[in-house]
Amino acid sequence: MTQALPKSVTFDEFVEWYPNDGKRYELHNGVIVEVPPPTGQHEKVVGFIARKLTVEFDRLNLPYTIPKTALVKTPSAESAYSPDVLLLNLDNLDNEPLFQKYSTVRLPASVPLVVEVVSTNWRDDYHDKFGDYEEMGIPEYWIADYAALGGRKFIGNPKQPTIFVCELVDGEYQMNPFQGNTAISSRTFPQLNLTAQQIFDAAN
């Protein structure tokens, strides 16, 4: 990521500044960063995961949606992220004072599940966003490392493509890794019929 502005800003300053220029920006501890344009493989994985989750919540008639663009504001630091796949609970959006004007949520009840598809800035997904989503109390966080870019302590040596389903247990994420043809286990969607390999294949 590249810094867009040199000085530290507040969340309020960030959302007031946010330009309508077709680019994506995030706020990381008071620093505005531009999200680099994604690769085609990255976007295919994002689209595939979003489609599979949409089919599932439609089948179950759940009050969920996946917005095109929205921000998740963290509870303590001046940070706001634009997740690759953000599952929103429509029934809780009336409790979100920032949603109507800024398409921003900050309550865990509004976010049953969030997905980050790993790119070259993998430390953001494995460290910063992991910790902030955990602190926020988001029940389920997926790290989709289809290209095996993460650190070896996470995905092994040699590195292997891995999907981590991080489930909140007693306020802390438990990281459950899925590789190959292993079926993904999701507490949000317990009947989900999806393997890690299907997600990896979506990039091809």
pLDDT tens sequence for the chain (204 residues): 444 545 789 999 999 999 989 899 999 999 999 998 889 999 999 999 999 999 999 999 999 999 998 999 998 779 999 999 999 999 999 999 999 999 999 999 999 999 999 998 899 999 999 999 999 999 999 999 999 999 999 999 999 999 999 999 999 999 999 999 999 999 999 999 999 999 999 999
Report helix, strand or coil for 46. helix
Report the half-sphere exposure of 150 (CA within 13 A, side-chain side).
Answer: 21
pLDDT at 122: 93
Phi-psi region of 170 (alpha: psi -120 to 50; beta: other; left: phi over 0): left
pLDDT at 120: 86
Closest CA to 71 of 8, 18, 124: 18
pLDDT at 2: 44
pLDDT at 6: 57
Angle at 187 between CA 79 and CA 68, to 5 degrees: 45
Closest CA to 190 of 174, 167, 173: 167
pLDDT at 28: 93
Closest CA to 82 of 177, 151, 14: 14
Domain at 39-201: CATH code: 3.90.1570.10
pLDDT at 11: 94
List, in sequence order, every residue forming a beta bridge with 195; answer none if it has no partner. Answer: 183
What is the value of pTM for the model shown? 0.93
Report the half-sphere exposure of 26 (CA within 13 A, side-chain side).
Answer: 19
Cα separation values, 26 from 12, 34, 69, 111, 188, Å: 13, 6, 11, 18, 26
List the domain boundaries for the chain: 39-201
Closest CA to 67 of 82, 57, 78: 82
